[in-house]
Structure 1
Amino acid sequence: MELKRSEMQLIEAVSTIITEEGFSKIGINKIARTAGCDKVLIYRYFGNLDGLITTWAKKHDFYIQAYDAFINKVETVSQANLREITKEILLSQLHFTKENKMHQELLLWELSGGLKFNAIRNLREENGHKLQKMLELKADTKGLNISMYITLLIASINYIVLSTLEYPQFNGIDFSNDTSWTIYESTLCDYIDMLFEKINL
């Protein structure tokens, strides 16, 4: 029980430092002091700092979580319902990114070029890509590069959410207004419909 508490303290310390001081202040000694733990526990529980940050990210990065959250649905979905599960996954990404402050901070730090923890990026890429490949295997893509279409939608979600955090006006649209987000969701679904109509699903 003591072990679990210490692990949780270290993981929570990462969130505390990011919230109060930003990703640039993340370090072994800083985390240990904030957690009130000996820094040797970071190596014992997580192997190294990268391992601790990756464990933290599993709670705060959408696509690291997405594989476990959606794989059962994707494996059992019928071809006729592929577009609906695609909508569900991308709308979940939108809601998660809008609501999870830690995920926002992680993406912003990564986009700034400051992210040194490659394990986070690698795990996100691995999990997200596996999920997408499962969806593609279910569909007859007729040679269409679905990955590129989905990539554009994923990037749109991340960019619109992050860019409107401080400046809600984007291309003449006021994203401080809930109605704008409702229209954005509807438009996102329209693009998914267009994609699946291209492959007659």
Structure 2
Amino acid sequence: MLQIQELTGSSVPEKRVKNRAGTEQAILAAARDLLAEKGFQGFGINAIARRAGCDKQLIYRYYGGLDGLIEAIGADLGNWVKDRIPEDTGGAFVLTYGDLMERLALLFMEALRDDPLVCKIVAWEVSKDTPQVRKLSEARAKALARWLDRMRGSLVPPKGVDAPTVNALLFASIQHLVISASATGQFAGLPLRTEKDWEKVAVSVRRLVRAIYG
């Protein structure tokens, strides 16, 4: 009888931990989705609870409220680049810094196009100056910097090239094109609606990278 009680007692906490973990993930996913779809205007406790299918009190219990959820989303964004872009560069044959930057720029463009929340955050960075946006922006920027440094490894740019400035311009231009595509489907008369349009952008990215890095 004692053995049965011990087994029962040990199994209940494990079940609760699993349920809590699943609920936390459901809340976080719901918060991300709502933020991507409606922005901060639709980002409320009741809406998140409805989307997650849970009692709103659990949001306060697990995250402390909206500010805690923003921090959790920021931490989640810290893994955005790592989760979406393979560190082995997709098996590409990388010999030079130019090879690496070409591959990373194209992977970054593809990943950014596939993530509506990150696109929103990039747009908010230049249009909204709020504590919430700053938290999300800082998390994203730190993750991107760490990713670039890790992927670079021992490869070095050609002498005389200011790689940090060039790379900042390269990735900023990619970000702006993706934002423009989401907002208007074009930029400066350049259509950005179809895969064929983006293939043209990719060709130009390759040419720019090679012109600078060889």
User: Counterpart of 1:90?
Assistant: 105
Structure showing greater radius of gyration is 2
Report the more deviating stretch, 185-194 or 19-28.
Answer: 19-28
Identity across matched positions, percent: 24
- Cα deviation 1:129-179 (Å, max 9, x = unaligned): 123334275315535321111111111111111112242233232222433
In structure 1, what is the Cα distance between the partners aligned to 2:138 and 2:183?
A: 29
Report the more deviating stretch, 141-150 or 90-99.
Answer: 141-150
In structure 1, what is the Cα distance between the partners aligned to 2:94 and 2:59?
A: 45
User: Counterpart of 1:10?
Assistant: 27
Q: CA deviation at 1:29?
A: 5.2
Distance 1:137 1:49, change over 3 A: farther
In structure 1, what is the Cα distance between the partners aligned to 2:202 and 2:93?
A: 23
State the one-letter code of the partner of 2:204: T
In structure 2, what is the Cα distance between the partners aligned to 1:73 and 1:158?
A: 23
State the one-letter code of the partner of 2:120: E
User: Counterpart of 2:5?
Assistant: none
Q: 2:182 aligns with which of 165, 180, 186?
A: 165
* 1:144 matched to 2:130: no
In structure 2, what is the Cα distance between the partners aligned to 1:143 and 1:45?
A: 51
In structure 1, what is the Cα distance between the partners aligned to 2:103 and 2:155?
A: 16
Report the more deviating stretch, 35-44 or 182-191.
Answer: 35-44
- Cα deviation 1:11-42 (Å, max 9, x = unaligned): 13213433553223324454345434455544
Instruction: Point out where structure 2 has 5 or more consecutive residues left out of the alignment.
Output: 1-17
Give the TM-score normalised by structure 2. 0.71
Distance 1:40 1:160, change over 3 A: same
Q: 2:40 aligns with which of 9, 20, 23?
A: 23
Distance 1:143 1:29, change over 3 A: farther
Alignment size in residue pairs: 193
In structure 2, what is the Cα distance between the partners aligned to 1:158 and 1:115?
A: 20
Report the more deviating stretch, 150-159 or 163-172.
Answer: 163-172
In structure 1, what is the Cα distance between the partners aligned to 2:148 and 2:192?
A: 29
Counting only pairs closer than 5 Å after superposition, residues 1-201 of structure 1 correspond to structure 2 as: 1-18=18-35, 21-28=38-45, 30-32=47-49, 34-39=51-56, 41-42=58-59, 44-46=61-63, 49-57=66-74, 61=77, 64-67=79-82, 72-73=87-88, 80-113=95-128, 115-117=130-132, 118-134=134-150, 135=152, 138-139=155-156, 141-197=158-214
In structure 1, what is the Cα distance between the partners aligned to 2:212 and 2:64?
A: 43
Distance 1:144 1:45, change over 3 A: farther
- Alignment check: 8 A CA contact 2:180 2:186 kept: no
Which secondary structure state, in structure 2, belongs to the residue aligned with residue 5 of structure 1? helix
State the one-letter code of the partner of 2:19: E
Which secondary structure state, in structure 2, belongs to the residue aligned with residue 80 of structure 1? coil
